[in-house]
Structure 1
Amino acid sequence: MMHIAETLDQLPDMNDLQSRSGLEFMQDMVAGRLPGPPIGATMGFWPISAEDGCVVFEGTPEFPVTNPMRGLHGGWYGAILDSCMACAVMTKVPRGSVYTTLEYKVNITRAIPLGLTVRATGTVQHAGRSTGVASGEIRGTEDGKLYASGSTTCLIMKAPLA
């Protein structure tokens, strides 16, 4: 059995966070110099690009993220949207600071069929000293259809000391 401490040791540490701006952190994650989010591996999505104020995740939902009615669980929409929107806010976070999601909202427009690859794009509307606001959307990579949209508010704060 794996212990929590053993698995947490696989994630970036406080030095990784404090030595980079949020944009540098996200770009290093996309480039594979830092590990990606474990939830993405669990749920089948990953970051593919990070620019100032915009982060894109790509994912393909499969059977493990279905609900009992044979459809994609709504939590999958929320998880990929929270990831792209909050990480977009991260690109605006200065060196020595971090963020956390305060709240987010998801509007599902249509069902994503299992096996369909989608892109979730998060874009920052505001990033101040203590809060960041972003919007996001999920679109099919092949069909371009809008499957869901969302918004988030994140708290920006000084990173805890290492």
Structure 2
Amino acid sequence: MPDNFFPDHPDQLPGRDAILSMSGLEFMQKVLANELPMAPIAGGLNYGLHSVKLDEIVFRGAPGFNHMNPSGAIHGGWYGTLLDSAMACAVMTRVPKGSVYTTLEYKVNIIRSIPSGMLVDCIGTVEHAGRSTGVATGKIVGVEDGKLYATGSTTCIIMTPK
């Protein structure tokens, strides 16, 4: 494995050459296998990668006190970040070797409040992946109760750097 992967150094992320050397699906599989580091934001928001397959990513996490707004509810940014991660990473499973992607826009619909400490799954599913765009949907579901807490949709751009 090239030196720029830094799998044993969680404070360092893989370099551009390393990212471009594999498909997005391979990249996500390496993150799941702890061969590549998780995105640093996941640690601060208390979620992690739970499963990876073509067209579907699942993150699992539980919001806590540090994720509340001043009124005591889980901040909408927690829902949004979790959904953005799952939906965009689902699109990443379709990104070919030598290409990259980024979120162009996303939308979140909060259906009900997630109680602090409740374990949830966030499932991102690809609806379309072409040469230049990917579209995905997402949902946040309680692990124990199976209730739907939020939904989302995203459009990502897929690019081949020169």
TM range (shorter): over 0.9
Tell me the equivalent position of 1:35.
37
Cα distance in structure 2, aligned partners of 1:32 and 1:136: 24
Cα distance in structure 2, aligned partners of 1:25 and 1:16: 9
Runs (5+) with no aligned partner, structure 1: 1-6
Tell me the equivalent position of 2:4.
none
Q: TM-score, normalised by structure 1?
A: 0.92
Runs (5+) with no aligned partner, structure 2: 1-8
Tell me the equivalent position of 1:97.
99
For 1:137-156, what aligned pairs fall within 5 Å after superposition?
Answer: 137-156=139-158
Cα distance in structure 1, aligned partners of 2:29 and 2:51: 7
Cα distance in structure 2, aligned partners of 1:9 and 1:69: 33
Tell me the equivalent position of 1:56.
58
Q: Deviations over 1:64-83 (max 9, x none)?
A: 11000001000000000000
Q: Deviations over 1:125-144 (max 9, x none)?
A: 00000000000000000000
Cα distance in structure 2, aligned partners of 1:8 and 1:155: 27
Detail structure 1 runs of 4+ shifted over 2 Å in the superposition: none
Q: Which moved more, 1:24-33 or 1:12-21?
A: 12-21
Cα distance in structure 1, aligned partners of 2:85 and 2:92: 10
Cα distance in structure 1, aligned partners of 2:10 and 2:26: 21
Q: Deviations over 1:101-126 (max 9, x none)?
A: 00000000100000000000000000
Residue identity over aligned pairs, in percent, reads 58
Q: Deviations over 1:8-33 (max 9, x none)?
A: 97011112211110000000001100
Tell me the equivalent position of 2:114.
112
1:86 partnered with 2:88:
yes
Counting matched residue pairs gives: 154
Cα distance in structure 2, aligned partners of 1:17 and 1:9: 17
> Contact (CA 8 Å) 2:106, 2:155: kept in 1 or not?
yes
> Contact (CA 8 Å) 1:18, 1:159: kept in 2 or not?
no
> Contact (CA 8 Å) 1:54, 1:123: kept in 2 or not?
yes
Match of 2:17 among 15, 18, 21: 15
